[in-house]
Structures are given as structure tokens and as C-alpha cells.
Structure 1
Amino acid sequence: MPIPARQEIRVLGVHFSNMAHNTTAVSRLIAAANQVARMIKRVTSKNHGMKETETTKLVQAFVVSRYTYVAPFLNLKPREEDRLDRALRKCVKLSLGLPVSTSNERLMALGVHNTTKELIDAQRIAQQVRLTRTKTGRTILNRLDITPPTMVRDRFDIPREIRERIHIDPLPRHMHPEHDQVRRTLRAQYLSKTWDSHPATIYVDGAGPTNGVTTAAACSSSGNPIAMASIKTTDPTRAEEVAIALAISAHPRAIILTDSQEACRNFLRGRICRQALRIITNQPPEGAQIIWLPGYQGQTGGNVAAHALARDSLFRAFTPAGCPPGKGASRSPSPPSLRTAYREILLEQRLGRRRFPAPHPSLTRLEEVLLRQLHTNTLPIPATLHKYYPDIYPTPQCPHCDQTGDLLHTMWHCTQNPNMKNITPNNRSTTQWEATLLNPHPACQKWLADRAERATRRPLAAPD
């Protein structure tokens, strides 16, 4: 019996067309996003209701999850991708209590959401990494001519009997090198205090690439060198894997502290580079433990010694033959990003463009909305109200003086507003205003929200 032909089919909830267009799939995604936008309007408002962290979770659960389930498997055109972005931005703006007309550039500066393209790319990378964990998955990637990320490419399975003797501690979250400095420092101090006195503790690190070569080093907690090796590769993750393997070969029950999350993940997946596999196969462990340690947090002892030993072994002062005087060894380009986990890829992109701090959890819904309106320049000030409602607000001037009522004047420079006489700052410079706007302290954020509420408070009408 012949299989009937259809113009559209639905496979696991995804609609595909025989004309290779995505009209139905994209329309359904946009309709779902619009439904979530209407739901957010019902459960929250400017003054009360669900707070920002809760409404953004709604967007993540009902909109972003649908995007990542369908969009990565469609051949989207730029126009279709832009339609999805507009629907997603609408939901994000409503979840923050902002008007739909908010500038997209200012919305991106908040760092609270990812674009459709970022979601698609992160999902594809995560799926490729997942497929590399099994032989069947690697065969599928080879047949499709898909090259997996550098950090998981050309890896080999660790024998089961060896893998069972290596324990990898869970990797902590919220350890961004720029935005989570305090958490990283506290974790580094805790690990150093806990393990430095243990005789089996070994710090490892890698360096490079330089001239196509990377180096790996292992040192004791007191800073004494234990092992060192060089690897002909431009992948720094391989150097970290070899450094861990050197520590395992040096002590069968080693407690290894490394600053490479990808090396920890590769050992956890059971797939490492050929050089590291050869080392641990020749000298298998009895019960090794691998712990991730935040690097470059002012530690002393083994961590600094391993880092210095690996860097010094690259012969940075060496001048290759044929190079002009003063030109040292060339540094090979490193991979642009060492993130392969879906969540970490998206988080790094959001934090990379975030300019304004998130509202503190102690703030009320009204204070959160006022703060976000200050961040995005959408506070209902005279200049903005005149632009949208010229009949009701015929002039953009401040109601308390004859100056233009823009955001800086209304919030910072106006001295005639009777609602803000008791909270007038001593320093009225523009630099001080920008510094106050970027201050993440809850007291400062509450002060800004209170000032915004007072600045936009309308004067009472005269009695009849």
C-alpha cells in the first residue's frame, strides 16, 4: 500500500512542509509566545504580582523551551528568525514591566535573555557534544559531516575498570571569572584550606599553545614540581587532560585540583585525548579524585607553582631561527570559547553584554519595575510623555522649572521638585549619576527606585 503524500506532517510536535518552508512551525511558536505574553499581563503588573525572577522563569519555561525544541531543526530564514526574536523580546519586556516600545539595544544591555540565534547555536553545540559520548552518536556525526567542538574532538574511551577508579566532584554553578569573583575567591580559599595539608594533593595546570605546542605541569601543595610534559597540539584542553593524567601516574590515590572545567567534563564523560589515555593506561589509578579549582584567585603554593612551571616551560624568551630580533615565539590562536554546556554558553553571552545590575531580591515589584525603567530610559518623564501623548502633554518641559524634562534632568538635576527636597544628592554630576545607576547594592537600588517614584509623581490638581 503506497504511503499517502501530505503537504505538511507533524513529527514529535514539529511541523514540516513538503515545500521546505517553515510557515506553520514559526507561526505556532509566535502564537505560543503571544499566549505567554497575555498570561504575564494577567499574573503581574507594575505595582504588584509576580516579581522579575518569577516572570522570567515563565518565559524560560513556556517560550524559550519551545524555541529550543523546534527552531534548531528548521532551516530558518533571516526574516523568520527576526519574527521569532520580536515575539521573544515582547515576552521579556512584559516580564520586566517595560513597555513594548522599549529600545532593543537597551533591553539587550540588561543581559536577561538570549536571541533566537544564540539559543539555536547553543542547542546544536550541546547536542553535538552529547552525540560524541557514544559510538553510535559519533558515527551519526561522521555521516552528516558534522565536526564537533574542539574540546571534545579526537577523544578516546577510558577503559571501564580505570574509569570506575576516578571520581570527579560536581562542578559548581555561578563561577564566571568576571561576574562571580567573590564566589570564586571563597571556593579557592576553601579548597586550599581543605586539601593543602593532605599528602596526596596535586595541583595541575596547562599552558599554551605556542608554536603549536602546549605544556602540562603538576606540583605538590607546597609548590614542589612533580611532573611536566609537552604536547604537540593547539588545544589547551588536551594539555589540562595530560596534566591530570601525570598527577594520576605520580600518585595512585591522588587528589587533583585543576582549573579546567572542560578537562573535568571530559574525564566525567570518559573520553580524553590519546596522550592522557596512554599515561593512565600504563599507570592506572587506585582511587583518584579530581576537583575543579577556580584559577587566578590570588592563591599561593601549588596552584601558582603549577601555573608558573607550565608557562616557563614554553620557552617564551626563545627566539626561533629566522625570526627578526625582538620577536619571540608566536602564540597559536586558542579556541574562542571553552564552553560546551548549553546553560554556560547562554549565560556567558548574557553576562558578556550585561551593563546594568539585576534588581536585588529584597526589592518589591514596583521598585524592580522603576529600576528597570531607569536602566532602559522608559520612565514616564515629561519628554517621553510629550512624544507619545502630545495632546495631553503639549510641552516636554519639566513641570517644576523651564528646563527640558529628560531623564537626567528629572532624576538628577532638577532642584525645584518639592517631592525630592529631602533626597537631593550633594554631587549632581553626570558621572555620579551613571555610577549610581550601575551600583548593585540594594540600598542604592531602593534609593533610586524611591527617587524615580517621587520624580514622576504628578502634582495634585487645584480644587474646584
Structure 2
Amino acid sequence: MHPQHNEGRRRARAIAILKKIKDDPQSVCFVDAAQYGRSSHYAVVAIDNRGHIISSASVTGTTSSKAEQVAIALALLDDKRTQIYSDSRSAVRAFASGSIAKEAHDVLKNRTINMHTITWFPAHLGQNLDSLTNLNDIAHSQARVLTLRAGGEALSLCRVQEFRDTLFTFNEFTKHFYLERRVFPPPHKKLTRPQAMTLRMLQTNSYPNLAFMHCLFPSDFSSQCPRCRGTCDLEHMLWRCPSLRGDKDLTEQKWSSALKSSEYQHQIWAVQRACDAAVRLGLTVPTWERPAVSP
């Protein structure tokens, strides 16, 4: 889940996990790693459901992903806490695929490990989520505190920005780029298919209007507005016609905002406005049903 474009899904996942672990708090363990300044050294911690450190260690000459794997390996040594949560997707995938780093393997070597469940937890969501304590954020804070004990150099560099949500799969890369370029949101799930089609045509400026229909059928349609005799393109039909200026709701700014909004009320308003304008000008749109009045 993308940290910017899927913030709602990430937050919902985090809240669901935090509510779930309340049923068996004694089996929960959150892990994290923090970098010593700009070096290749990391402090790793595992905390319990109260935010207390269970185990910690320092890893030298490594990467963030490998350090996170070491943190998970430390948590695996605790047979009582079988539910392990980490905000590093690469570390979780490494254990899922059985291809962990050497540093993590050294921690587990010659040890008998009981059954554990390793789950990814979304990072960078703040200390409180829906009145629930974010244990992942506490784990990160505990790891950060350990790096501050290294002295002045680590203290001066402790605010280096970390990028934990690295893109891994082909789907994640392609989704990142098309979401970055997207200008208009998709139709709201409450819109019917005809209404969603109407919204998409409005967003792409391809909704039927007199000027457009005149280009296709010059003998059947006139490009002139029947009210002001101006060229009746889509913008004119919706808000530029002088006969519509008495309605304060008909402004270019509001129309643009509605097309770029992901809210149902705004999208249904735009669809309703276009449908009313088409009917007023005698344009038939038989493939679109009239939108229901918004609740």
C-alpha cells in the first residue's frame, strides 16, 4: 500500500491490527530498527504490548532491511510472544521466502524456534490511532533512543529522514507512477455505472454538447446556444452562458473542484448538473439514466 495514495487503507489496517491484539496482548511483539546518524550501523529493538523493551542489539555494517530482519530474529527467540509485527515489508518478505540476511541467520543459528506469525504493520501513522496506542511508533521511538546514547555525532544526525516504504514489485512501481500522474479521482463506489460513465466523460471533456454534436451532425444540430446565440461548447453549456449567471452555484471553480473531488456528494452534483443541462438543450443521452437525488 502506497504511503501517500493509500493512506486510508494503511490507517484502517493499523487500527484493525491494534484492535485485534487487545484480545491477547501477552503474545504481541513489535520490532523496529533505527540508524546511527548517517552510518551503516543500526540499533534494533523488540518491545512488548506495554512498550517495554524485551531485547535489543546493535548491528554494524549493514542496511536498514537487514537490520529489520535482525530485529525480527531477536523476537523469534521469545517463545511466549508469537505475534511479531514489523513495518519493514522487505524484512517480512525475506522471512516469508526463507531468504533472510546472514546477520539474522546468525542470531537464529543452532536455536530451536517455535511457531511464530510475522505480520507487516504500516509505518508513519503517529502515536495514536483511533484512541489506540500505536505500538509500532513506540518501537521506533525506543530504537531511536538507543541511537542517542552513542554520543554527539549520532545526536546531531538523528533527524535524518528515513524512507521505509520502498517499492519492490512490478505492480508497486507501475502503480506509483500512474497514481503520481493521475489528475482526476475514480468514480465513487455509490455511483451507478451510467453515472460513473457520465463523470468520466465530464472529466475528459467529451460529454455531448451542441458544438460537439454540430461537428458530427452539422445538418441536425446548431452550434449556437438557443439562449444567447454564443458557441455552445461544454463549458458554455454548464456555466459560461450569461443566462446561467444568476445561479451562484454555477462557477468554473466549483465545477473544476467537483470533477477533482473523490466525495460522492460532489461527483453526483456534477453528473446531475450535466444531465440537466443536456435535457435543457434537447440533447438526448439514452445510455445514461438520470441520477437519483443525493441524500
Interval of TM-score (by shorter of Structure 1 and Structure 2): 0.7 to 0.9
> Does the CA-based 8 Å contact 2:26-2:81 persist in structure 1?
no
Give the fraction of aligned pairs with identical amino acids, expressed as a percent.
31
Counterpart of 1:306, as a letter, is A
Q: Residue 253 of structure 2 is aligned with which of 428, 431, 434?
A: 431
Where does residue 17 of structure 1 map in the other structure?
none
Which of 62, 67, 89 is the equivalent residue of 1:239?
67
**Structure 1 residue 278, shift from structure 2 partner:** 0.9
Counterpart in 2 of 1:260?
88
Q: Secondary structure at the match of 2:43?
A: strand
* Alpha-carbon spacing, 1:365–1:304, altered in 2? closer, same or farther (3 Å): closer
TM-score normalised to structure 2 length: 0.75
Q: What's the CA shift string for 1:307-352, capped at 9, x where partnerless?
A: 112233344996549xxxx9746959869x7232343333333323
The match for 1:198 is 25
SS at match of 1:202: strand
From 70, 92, 98, give the equivalent of 1:270.
Answer: 98
**Could you list the runs of 5+ residues in structure 2 that have no partner in the other structure?**
284-295
- 1:311 equivalenced with 2:139 (yes/no): no
Aligned equivalent of 1:185, options 1, 11, 18: 11
Deviation at 1:372, TM superposition (A): 0.7
Distance 1:217 1:268, change over 3 A: same
Match of 2:56 among 228, 235, 239: 228
Aligned-residue offset at 1:385: 5.1
Aligned-residue offset at 1:440: 2.3
Counterpart of 1:374 in structure 2 is: 202
Counterpart CA distance in 2 for 1:317 and 1:384 is 70
One-letter code of the match for 1:193? K
**Residues 425 and 190 (structure 1), Cα distance of their counterparts in 2 relative to 1, 3 Å cut:** farther
Shift of 1:291: 1.7
Q: How does 1:78-227 map to 2 (within 5 A)?
A: 175-196=1-22, 197-208=24-35, 210-227=38-55
- Corresponding residue pairs, total: 276
What residue in structure 1 maps to residue 276 of structure 2? 454
Distance 1:240 1:415, change over 3 A: farther
Q: What residue in structure 2 maps to residue 105 of structure 1?
A: none
How high is the TM-score relative to the length of structure 1? 0.51
CA gap of 1:223–1:425, structure 2 versus 1, over 3 A, is farther
Give the CA deviation at 1:276. 0.9
- What's the Cα RMSD here? 3.7
Q: Is the 8 A contact 1:253 1:285 kept in 2?
A: no
* Structure 1 stretches lacking a partner, 5+ long: 1-174
Q: Which residue of 1 aligns with 2:181?
A: 353
Counterpart code for 1:312: V
Residues 221 and 301, structure 1, Cα contact 8 Å, conserved in 2? no
1:302 to 135, 153, 160: 135
Residue 220 of structure 1 and its aligned partner are, at CA, apart by 1.0
Q: How does 1:342-421 map to 2 (within 5 A)?
A: 342-382=170-210, 384=212, 388=215, 398-402=225-229, 405-414=232-241, 416=243
Q: Quick one: which amino acid aligns to residue 239 of structure 2?
A: W
The answer to whether the 8 A contact 1:203-1:303 is kept is yes
**In 2: Cα distance, 1:314 partner to 1:395 partner:** 74
Tell me the SS of whatever aligns to 2:25. coil
Residue 444 (1) aligns with residue 266 (2) = yes
SS in 2 for 1:206: strand
Distance of aligned partners of 1:406 and 1:262 in 2 relative to their CA distance in 1, 3 Å threshold = farther
Question: For 2:44, what is the secondary structure of its paired residue?
Answer: strand
CA contact (8 A) 1:248 1:254 kept: yes
Shift of 1:254: 2.7
Report the Cα distance in structure 2 between the residues aligned to 1:426 and 1:270, rounded to whole angstroms.
63
